[in-house]
Amino acid sequence: MLRFYKGSMIFTLVCLALGGWYGFMQSGTMTGVAQVLWIVVVLSVLEISLSFDNAVVNASVLKDMDEVWQWRFLTWGMVIAVFGMRIVFPLAIVAIAAGLSPIEAVHLSLNNPRQYEAIVSSAHTGIAGFGGAFLTMVGLKFFFNADKEVHWITLIETQLAKFSRVDAIGIAFLLLALYLISLGLPDEEALTFLIAGLLGIVAFIAVEAVGTVLEHREQARNVAGAAMRSGLGGFLYLNVLDASFSFDGVIGAFALSNNMIVIALGLSIGAMFVRSMTIMLVRKGTLAEYRYLEHGAFWAIIALGAIMLLSARIPIPETVTGLIGATLIGISLWWSVRHARKPGASEEARPGD
């Protein structure tokens, strides 16, 4: 177990040391240091609780990639997750929304954190539309699948599998949801929400398209005798998926702090542990051992996507989001253990049968 989390623990110690140093430089007191460290720890726990389902879904993709690309996801992908989504993304929002240069956005985040927080929060409608649409499409793809043989919530999942024979059923379902939610928004926000949602759908289709093209090229190489698998398509997919998962964590972090450095340190620790958890799930074969764990994670993704979409109209605390995801995964884990203990349990068995 330790070998999977050794890097994360070292990274945590480094981040806590930086947080302590930053707290002392800002306040000059040990009380200030303790306050910063406490916020960093709470933010890291928040990120882990919101992203456990992300780790399970990442593992379902990562298990089909070779070890080279698994390691690249843990290293290069970590750089993208930390610097791209936890630092660059909020700064980009502020720069675009306020018409500032990147340097001015950095100065604003450090010198006027309240205004920085207000600008980021004002972009919530667009973020909710894009992130909610992308995550919902990820979840719907898993269940709108006629070839899916194992079902957890049988009554619902078997019907969804049947509907998958209708082309673009998932897109149609999501477009209807976007329209209905937009009806309760002011005109300007409704337009922003719809455009962001459409871009989320386009992003999902684009990532799927890139993955399909790369997969066909890999198959052609294999036919020609080249056995190496690139994994680039899966790598791109995982990073876009991780970005979508991090939206709610980045926005929710402002409930605890509006300091860019403190937020980045806390969320980065959480992101590192999520990646270590992903690698552990792959190497230990946990998804194969627990039959319905993957199902629980994808139901949690749909729940998270729906919550993000609805949050454009209704404020929803991040604790609710985390609890729903953890509950779904916990129930699926318990159901998996229950199934494994049944005498003569087989691959064809269904929960509730």
Among 265, 273, 268, smallest CA distance to 19 is for 265
Higher-pLDDT residue of 51, 221: 51
Instruction: Judge whether residue 17 has pLDDT over 90.
Output: yes
Instruction: Judge whether residue 81 has pLDDT over 80.
Output: no
Average pLDDT over residues 116-127: 80
The 10s digit of each residue's pLDDT in 82-98 is: 677 777 777 777 777 66
The 10s digit of each residue's pLDDT in 304-338 is: 888 889 988 888 776 677 678 778 888 888 888 88
How confident is the model at residue 198, as a pLDDT? 94
Instruction: Judge whether residue 203 has pLDDT over 50.
Output: yes
The 10s digit of each residue's pLDDT in 59-70 is: 877 777 777 777
Mean residue pLDDT of the chain comes to 79
pTM: 0.71
* pLDDT above 90: percentage of residues in the chain: 8
How confident is the model at residue 230, as a pLDDT? 53
How confident is the model at residue 179, as a pLDDT? 94
How confident is the model at residue 13, as a pLDDT? 92
How confident is the model at residue 144, as a pLDDT? 86
Instruction: Judge whether residue 269 has pLDDT over 90.
Output: no
